[in-house]
Amino acid sequence: MAAEATTPDAVDLHETLTTVSPDEARDLLVDLVSIPSPSGEERKAAQRLVAFFEAHGREAWLDAIGNVRAPADDAVLLTSHVDTVPGDIPVRVEDGVLWGRGSVDATGPLAAMAVVAVETGVSFVGVVGEEKDSRGAHHLVADREPPEALVNGEPSGWDGLTLGYRGILGGRYGVQTEGQHTSRPSPNAIEQAMAWWRRVQEAFAPDDESEGAEADAGSTFEQVTTKPVSFDGGVTDDGLATNASMEVQLRVPPSKTVDEVRETAEAQLEAGSLSWVDELPPAMQSPRTPVARAFRVAIRQLGGDPRLLRKTGTSDVNVYTGAWDVPMATYGPGDSSLDHAPDERLPLAEYDRSIAVLATVCERLID
């Protein structure tokens, strides 16, 4: 594993830090949101980030996979993803609100982190592919040593801090049966696939007692949830067989391991085959780490009441948690209910405030 270079060294960076004006910080955000960057097409947005760092005297470059690398003081690594999901939302600013794809997920957090990295001299990486396969994060953990602390960029609201994500297990199921007349009672491949999925759902269904507790908690965070992603089936072209295939996802809470969930799903097989194509462990951080404490202090200093969050999905922080044993948390401006939404938008005042929070956090962690 190669150590991340710190060029120029951290001492020199702290002596030559530059201030980013509020107007320039907003211009960076609007520019990045205006550059389409769906997964696999991040290069133009990444080059805009490189230009921003170079304009402020920081060395930055695109690595072999397309990540934006701007190493500096590894007391903190700020990282968020450059890519967005597809979707053309006309970019505009109305009444102090920026509309556009990625404004929330996660170009807002990404731009805020770039600004704070320049102002405080900490390390920065903009990763690619988070919305697809987290290839940028996987490359990062294989290519550099862990930092002392990490902040991952995803929307939490300026006064929120995300400490937990469920893991994910993605699989493909396939089965084939001999061709038969539809009047016969024996199950064909489509029925066998449906039956396997029903058994999986039943295996992970909460019992009455835990279901009641879950209802009280108002959250699915502690449950395994099962979701079919795609289904295809029918008689083969030669008419001699029936095929069925499914893509499925199972979300893994911190109370379970990916291996435990995998074993349970495999135990429901009575026919066909199952292969696993995607897995990330759950991620859960203590609210008492130096990172979490620094955020609580910073949010209170700006007049907020810190909210500690757990999310039912996954993010790149699951990759970092699985590879690096360092304190970390996820933070960024924006309402996460607008992730991937057709009305995705970010109040610029919230973006400004998140920069102030991040800067305070980094300054505390550097000291």
Active site residue 130: yes
Per-residue pLDDT, 279: 92
Is residue 121 domain-shared with residue 267, that is, in the same domain? no
Token pair recorded at residue 103 = 């404004």
3-state secondary structure of 152: strand
User: Which pLDDT score is estimated for 74?
Assistant: 97
Q: Which helix (H) or strand (E) holds 96?
A: none
Residue 1 maps to a domain: no
Residues 353, 333: Cα–Cα separation, whole Å: 8
Tell me, yes or no, whether 39 and 156 share the same domain.
Answer: yes
- For residue 329, is it within any domain? yes
Instruction: Give this prediction's pTM.
Output: 0.88
- Name the average pLDDT for the chain: 92
Are residue 133 and residue 42 in the same domain, yes or no?
yes
User: What total number of domains does the chain contain?
Assistant: 2
Q: Please give the pLDDT value at position 367.
A: 84
Q: Which among 4, 83, 279, 339 is annotated as catalytic?
A: 83
Last residue of a domain, one of 241, 258, 280: 280
- Domain around 195: 167-280
Of 216, 247, 280, the position where a domain reaches its end is 280
Do 223 and 214 meet the contact criterion of CB atoms below 8 Å apart?
yes
Co-location of 188 and 274 in the same domain: yes
Query: Which is the catalytic residue, given 73, 74, 130, 222?
Result: 130
Q: Do 141 and 250 reside in the same domain of the chain?
A: no
Closest CA relative to residue 105, chosen from 153, 67, 145: 153
Residues 71 and 144 in one domain: yes
Known catalytic membership, residue 83: yes
Is there a domain that residue 3 lies in? no
- Interval 264-290: pLDDT, tens: 999 999 999 999 999 999 999 999 999
What pLDDT is recorded for position 15? 57
Stretch 349-358: mean pLDDT, rounded? Answer: 98
Residue 4 forms part of a structural domain: no
Which residue, of 214, 248, 280, is where some domain finishes? 280
Taking each helix axis as running N to C, give the angle between helix 135-143 and helix 316-323, from 0 to 180 degrees, rounded to the nearest 10.
Answer: 20
- Res. 220 pLDDT band, cuts 50 70 90: confident
Q: Yes or no: say if 101 and 87 are a contact pair by the CB < 8 Å rule.
A: yes
Q: Residues 29-41: what's their mean pLDDT?
A: 98
Reported as a pLDDT band with limits 50, 70 and 90, residue 9 is: very low
Q: Which of 282, 21, 39 is nearest to 168 (CA)?
A: 282
Q: Compute the distance between CA of residue 150 and CA of residue 355 in angstroms, rounded to an integer.
A: 16
**Where does the pLDDT of residue 213 fall: very low under 50, low under 70, confident under 90, or very high at 90 and above?**
very low
